[in-house]
Structure 1
Amino acid sequence: MSDETDLKHLARCVELAAKALESGNPPFGSVLVDGTGAVKFEGHNLTADGDATQHPELAIARWAAANMTPEERVASTVYTSGEHCPMCAAAHGWVGLGRIVFASSSEQLSVWLDEMHVSPPPVATLPINTVVPGLPVEGPFPVLAEAVRKLHERYQHGASK
């Protein structure tokens, strides 16, 4: 169940998404929190240089695999401004990370992009549990999803600064 701690970490993800936007990247940000509540990794989208796999959720999965035990990974929570894409959800599942909490859903993003007359991404938008069945997932959070939508509007209209 979500609480103030979840909302605090999700708000940080939205801040990181804004930082991504300021650097010319799509607005996505993520935070890895271990079972004790300590922030272990923060990141944002870095795809502007042409590598479309530079998602923060994939970076978290790689970092966790290299720096955490399997027990630490499963006890952790990944917070993110937007629900994982299938690539990131698969990495999350393969590495054995725990719960995912997201501010906005892939379904919301698909609707927003359609409303903005933007072509859909090249990879199908799927719910995380379609890719990783049984994984604890919470989201979206309407109080933050609106802020994420506004970041995507700014990105699509070229207003990165």
Structure 2
Amino acid sequence: MVSETDLIHLKRCIALAEESLDAGDKPFGSVLVSAEGRVLQEDRNRTGGGDNTQHPEFALARWAANNMTPQARSAATVYTSGEHCAMCSAAHGWVGLGRIVYVASSAQHRGWLAEWGIQPGPVKAIPIQDVAPNVPVEGPVTELTDTIRAVHKRYFDKER
């Protein structure tokens, strides 16, 4: 179940996605929160320079591996504007991070791209649980999906 606190962190993810959009990157944002509820790290997509591996979820996994104990990682939550891709799901699983809460699913994102006549990316979208089956996952969060959909629409409208 998604709480009011979860919604606060997810709204910050959307704000980070908007920052990413303003910087010319694809609009994704993520926040890493400790078990005690403290924001430890946040990041946004940084793929505009051509390195399409610069996802915020991957950056948070690396940060966690270098700055948190295994126990703290497993008790932490990663909030994100969009469901992890396979690369980020794998990083999350390998590092041993805990719960993931996302606004929009990969399936929703694929549907939006099809609706807008945009070809999907070069990597198949796979649900997080298919890559990291022991990670607790919650999403999509329907009360925020229209908001992130609008941010993605602005990105692809700019790209045309």
Aligned ranges 1:34-113 → 2 under 5 Å: 34-113=34-113
CA deviation string 1:87-119 (max 9, x = no partner): 000000000000000000000000000101111
Q: Please give the alpha-carbon distance, in whole angstroms, between the structure 1 residues aligned to 2:123 and 2:93.
A: 18
Paired residue secondary structure (1:135): coil
The answer to whether 1:4 aligns with 2:8 is no
Supply the AA of the counterpart residue of 1:81. S
Supply the AA of the counterpart residue of 2:19. K
Supply the AA of the counterpart residue of 1:107. A
Cα shift at 1:44: 0.3
Q: Please give the alpha-carbon distance, in whole angstroms, between the structure 1 residues aligned to 2:142 and 2:96.
A: 28
Supply the AA of the counterpart residue of 1:125. A
Aligned to 2:114: 114
4+ residue runs over 6 A deviation: none
Paired residue secondary structure (2:149): helix
Supply the AA of the counterpart residue of 1:35. A
Paired residue secondary structure (2:158): coil
Gaps of 5+ in 1: none
Paired residue secondary structure (1:41): strand
Q: Please give the alpha-carbon distance, in whole angstroms, between the structure 1 residues aligned to 2:134 and 2:40.
A: 24
Gaps of 5+ in 2: none
CA deviation string 1:6-55 (max 9, x = no partner): 00000000000000000000000000001110000010000000000000
Cα shift at 1:142: 1.3
Aligned to 1:14: 14
Supply the AA of the counterpart residue of 2:9. H
Aligned length: 159
* TM-score, with structure 2 as normaliser: 0.98
CA deviation string 1:126-146 (max 9, x = no partner): 110010112100000111111
Q: Please give the alpha-carbon distance, in whole angstroms, between the structure 1 residues aligned to 2:135 and 2:43.
A: 22
Paired residue secondary structure (1:31): strand
Aligned to 1:148: 148
